[in-house]
Amino acid sequence: MKLLIDDAHIDKIKNIYEFYPVVGVTTNPTILSKIGGNPFDTLKEIREFIGEDAQLHVQAVSRRADEIVEEAWHIVETLGANTFVKIPAVPEGFKAMKILTETSEIPFTATAIYTPMQAFIAGQCGANYAAPYVNRIDNMGFNGLTVAKEIQQVFERNFMETEVIAASFKNSQQVLELCMCGVSAATLSPEIFTALVKNSAINSAVEDFISDFESFAGKDKTMLDF
C-alpha cells in the first residue's frame, strides 16, 4: 500500500517525509483553505519539495464538466507531471473524466466517493484512482472500511486498472486493515502518520537495548566507538 500525506502545510509535509516512506501529497479545497492565499503558491512549494516524480493530487472545483476539464489542464500545466487532478465522482465529474480520457493523458483521481458504484463508474470513465472517505462514511452510519474493501473488490473482479486511494482516516488501525486487504494506496493526515507506530512498549524495548549497551561500553557509546 502506497502512503501519501493528506495535508498542505509544508513544514508538516517535510517532517513526515523525513521519517516515513511517502510517495506523494494529496490536497483538497478544505486543506488548501487552512493555508489561504494563492493556492498555486502553496502547491508549487509542495511540488518543489517532493520533486517531479512524486504524486501531487489537486482538486478541480468547477461544477460543470467543460470547466473541470479546463481546470485540469491548468493544474497540470502549472504543477507538472505526476499531478493527479481530483474530480468529484458526480455526473458532471464523470463527463469531465470521459473527456479527459478521450482527449488527454492527464491522470485523475475520482474523489468524494461514498459508494462502490461511484468508484465503479469513475473507473469505467478512466480514473487512475478512486478515493473513498472512510471516516466520513462511518459518520453517515455506514462502514467506511467495508466500502473501501468493496471498491477494491469491484476493481479486481472487473479487471479494472483503477486503484483505490483510501482517504479520511481517524486511526491507524483503519489503515492497517486496508493494508491487509491489499488496498493500493492511502492518504493520511500527519497526525495519523505519527500514530502508525506509537507504542510505549516499543520505545521501552529500544531504550533497554541502549542502556544494556551503555552498561558495559560506557555512557553515550555506540558501535562507532569500537
Buried b (16+ CB within 10 A) or exposed e, 81-92: ebbbbbbbbeeb
Residue 156 DSSP label: H
Q: Give the residue ranges of DSSP H helices in the chain.
A: 10-19, 29-33, 39-50, 65-79, 91-103, 116-124, 134-139, 144-157, 172-180, 190-196, 200-217
Interface residue with ligand G3P among 4, 5, 6, 24 (CB under 6 A) is 6
Per CB under 6 A, contacts with ligand G3P among 156-175 are: 167-168
Q: Which is nearer to ligand G3P, 145 or 212 (CB)?
A: 145
- Active-site positions read 86
55 touches ligand G3P by CB under 6 A: no
Stretch that binds ligand G3P, among 40-48, 128-136, 158-166, 192-200 (CB under 6 A): 128-136
Does the footprint of ligand G3P cover residue 135 (CB under 6 A)? yes
Measured from the CB atom, the residue of 167 and 203 that comes closer to ligand G3P is 167
Minimum Å distance from CB 5 to ligand G3P? 10
DSSP β-bridge partners for residue 149: none
Smallest distance from ligand G3P to CB 28, Å: 4
Residue 127 binds ligand G3P (CB under 6 A): no
Q: Which of 28, 42, 128, 152 binds ligand G3P (CB under 6 A)?
A: 28
C-alpha separations of 155 from 30, 118, 119, 149 in Å:
28, 12, 9, 10
Choose, by CB under 6 A, the member of 94, 120, 133, 193 that binds ligand G3P: 133
Q: Are the CB atoms for 148 and 178 separated by under 8 Å? A: yes
Q: Tell me the three state secondary structure of residue 168.
A: coil
Instruction: State the residue number with the nearest CB to ligand G3P.
Output: 168
Minimum CB–partner distance for residue 31 and ligand G3P (Å)? 6
Alpha-carbon span 172 to 178, nearest angstrom: 10
Write out the residues near ligand G3P by the rule CB under 6 A.
6, 26, 28, 133, 135-136, 167-168
